[in-house]
Structure 1
Amino acid sequence: MAEQEHEEHTKGGVYSVKGKEYTRDDRYITTRITKDGEDGFKVEPNRYRLVAARACPWANRTLIVRRLLGLEDVISVGMPGPTHDADSWTFDLDEDGLDPVLQIPRLKDAYLKRDPEYPLGITVPAIVDEQDGAVVTNDFAQITLDFSSEWSEYHREGAPDLYPEHLREEMDKVMRYIYTEINNGVYRCGFAGSQEAYDSAYDRLFTALDTISERLENRRYLMGDNITEADVRLFTTLVRFDAVYHGHFKTNRSKLSEMPVLWAYARDLFQTPGFGDTVDFDQIKKHYYIVHKDINPSQIVPNGPDNSLWLTEHGREALGGSPFGNGTAPGPVKPGEEVRPEGRADA
């Protein structure tokens, strides 16, 4: 099972309690989709729909892993818009405001289809059973690991092994550290309820970033010569760092672009097929700056930074290795799933 890491579970997203450290709810629908169907949901092509907003770092992971493994033709995807109200993510980017497959205006409808009294937050990513329109799982940490293991029969030819058996023990420790200290660390800063809580969170975050930077000085990827899920999990925080976290969450000791090793590493991944082509900077900024009204009451979305810098030379090839090992890069993005022009780094 995945290490226990978790997304916010409030009706309107994350929140803080004044004077206290931000903590993240850990209650999830942990039903799994497996080869043997032990939980009642068997791996089956064209049965399940991944609902994943591009704005959300946890959902962004699932989009990257789905693409790297070539699961686009067996697991469909629905993408809510970047903003939501206190009640639910909505499909406001789709025609008539309805998901074209599920035919619902709000993700909440799929949660209520599973449990009419569903008491927790309406989070992405979520996997919905297209047969009855009910959510199967929103346990994002397990979803991507199951994409690697349980869906292996449907991986594309040349797909990378993102969760290698011989590395799992070490990987689980690395991913746990990345989650607690970095993925969740930026939120701990942004939603700190007191100066003391913020100061502690700030120090903890940058200690971790420095530690990971040292790890990456002489190795191209977190686990060695090839990409793994650990890199996916770190990337989705790094790609949001300068656009959102540095200012909005007050993680401002350094910009990512001022941390040479991490900046080069992040650009290397961004320029790898399957990573940057899932990132929509416009949606990322709109989500954080508009939804988090307690942090940004004006809801003004900043114009910067210059996202074209993500396409500049990184020089990480000198460390050797190759992203896909003995495999190959994924092909072009599936038609209809392309990032909108205004959200791309080359816009």
Structure 2
Amino acid sequence: MAIEEKFGKVVTSEDAHEVSKTGAFVRQDNYFISPFGDREGELPVEAGRYRLIWTPLCPWATRQVIALKLLGLEDVVSIGTVSPIRTDKGWEFALDEGGVDPVLKIQFLPEIYAETAPEYEGRATVPTIVDVKTRKVVNNDYHHLTNYWETVWKLFHKEGAPDLYPEELRTEIDALNAIIFHDVNNGVYKAGFAQSQEEYEKAYDVLFERLDWLEERLSKNRYLFGDQITDSDIRLYVTLTRFDAAYYFCFKTNRNRLTDFDNLWNYAKDLYSIPAFKEATDFDSIKKGYLLGNHAHNPYNILPLGPDISIWKEAHNRDEKFGTRKLNY
């Protein structure tokens, strides 16, 4: 059975064996990693067959929804949403009528994990891809999911969809994505979930050194790879949107706020002005998930009133620096 049901409580990093002997946070590996494709052993690419389970709290899940919206795959892959506050029994479909997912007919995400792989002992995570035809979890590999939407699902892309993973840049994109993941996306968690001062400070230093590096990179280009939005921009964006609202406080990543970086802040606002990014960004869910869930020590469940989210709608300076955006997303 899934680990949430085994322990009967909120699953902590220690329960999932995600804390090293030195107190460092070590994220669990993904269990369901079968790729999409047309070769033997790969998941068939079929419209209407799969359901993506996400929550707007989670950065790994949010980047799937951004990609689906940019590429026009929302009517091809159905989307189910769990509450941003994870319960003692795992992610819950509390937002749906009757508290049950209308397609899978389950109340908690671990239920479908237990049906699929009773031997699985990790956390039931988002994003999760469920094959509705077989009623099994088939993929929770957030490292590669957006790449599948961008490539093998191209048959179903809308007309004029952006090429988020161009062949000539894939080696460079993959290399930058690895850096962004280890130092920034997961870097905030390494700081926030560290259980020793040494590991916290190590993660903190790496995170801000990398943010300084990205700040400099974005002083020369509108996006991470010039004038075109790529998979890398989606991956960086989801951490930036959570920085001031959650990580700065509950993960103690407080050397700077996002708004203190000129290029990173204006770059993030530029992306937020694009409907696919904005529609997938729910600041209320982000705050509730991190500050009322099990990410922060908040025994009285007090939800901070700030920061002021309206500033995300203010003008950015990327047009002034690099010219009007050339592509209509």
* 1:288 equivalent among 287, 290, 305: 290
| Offset of residue 33 of structure 1 | 2.3
- Amino acid corresponding to residue 12 of structure 1 in structure 2: V
The residue aligned with 1:193 is 195
Q: Any conservation in 2 of the 1:55–1:284 contact (CA below 8 Å)?
A: yes
Residue segments in structure 2 that go unaligned for 5+ positions in a row: 1-6
The residue aligned with 1:114 is 116
Q: Any conservation in 2 of the 1:80–1:90 contact (CA below 8 Å)?
A: yes
Q: Please list, as runs of the form range in 1=range in 2, the aligned pairs for 1:122-161 lying within 5 A after superposition.
A: 122-161=124-163
The residue aligned with 1:172 is 174
Q: What fraction of aligned residue pairs are identical, expressed as a percent?
A: 45
Separation (CA, whole Å) in 2 of partners of 1:87 and 1:271: 36
Aligned residue pairs total 317
Q: Any conservation in 2 of the 1:18–1:194 contact (CA below 8 Å)?
A: no
Distance 1:163 1:39, change over 3 A: same
The residue aligned with 2:214 is 212
Q: Answer yes or no: is 1:22 the counterpart of 2:21.
A: no
The residue aligned with 2:3 is none
Residue segments in structure 1 that go unaligned for 5+ positions in a row: 1-9, 330-347
| Offset of residue 107 of structure 1 | 1.1
Cα root mean square deviation, aligned: 1.8
The residue aligned with 1:72 is 74
Q: Answer yes or no: is 1:101 the counterpart of 2:103.
A: yes
Distance 1:125 1:56, change over 3 A: same
Distance 1:155 1:14, change over 3 A: farther
| Offset of residue 322 of structure 1 | 6.5
- Amino acid corresponding to residue 258 of structure 1 in structure 2: D
Separation (CA, whole Å) in 2 of partners of 1:243 and 1:290: 13
| Offset of residue 246 of structure 1 | 0.5
Q: Please list, as runs of the form range in 1=range in 2, the aligned pairs for 1:1-347 lying within 5 A after superposition.
A: 12=11, 14=13, 16=19, 19-34=22-37, 36-292=38-294, 295-320=297-322, 325=327, 328-329=328-329
SS in structure 2 opposite 1:192?
coil
Distance 1:292 1:161, change over 3 A: same
Separation (CA, whole Å) in 2 of partners of 1:13 and 1:151: 35
SS in structure 2 opposite 1:285?
helix
Separation (CA, whole Å) in 2 of partners of 1:17 and 1:296: 24
- Residue-by-residue CA offset, 1:247-291 (whole Å, 9 max, x unaligned): 111111111011111110100001112101111111111111122
- Amino acid corresponding to residue 91 of structure 2 in structure 1: W
Q: TM (normalized to structure 2)?
A: 0.92
Q: Any conservation in 1 of the 2:176–2:232 contact (CA below 8 Å)?
A: yes
| Offset of residue 194 of structure 1 | 1.3
Distance 1:322 1:52, change over 3 A: farther
SS in structure 1 opposite 2:143?
helix
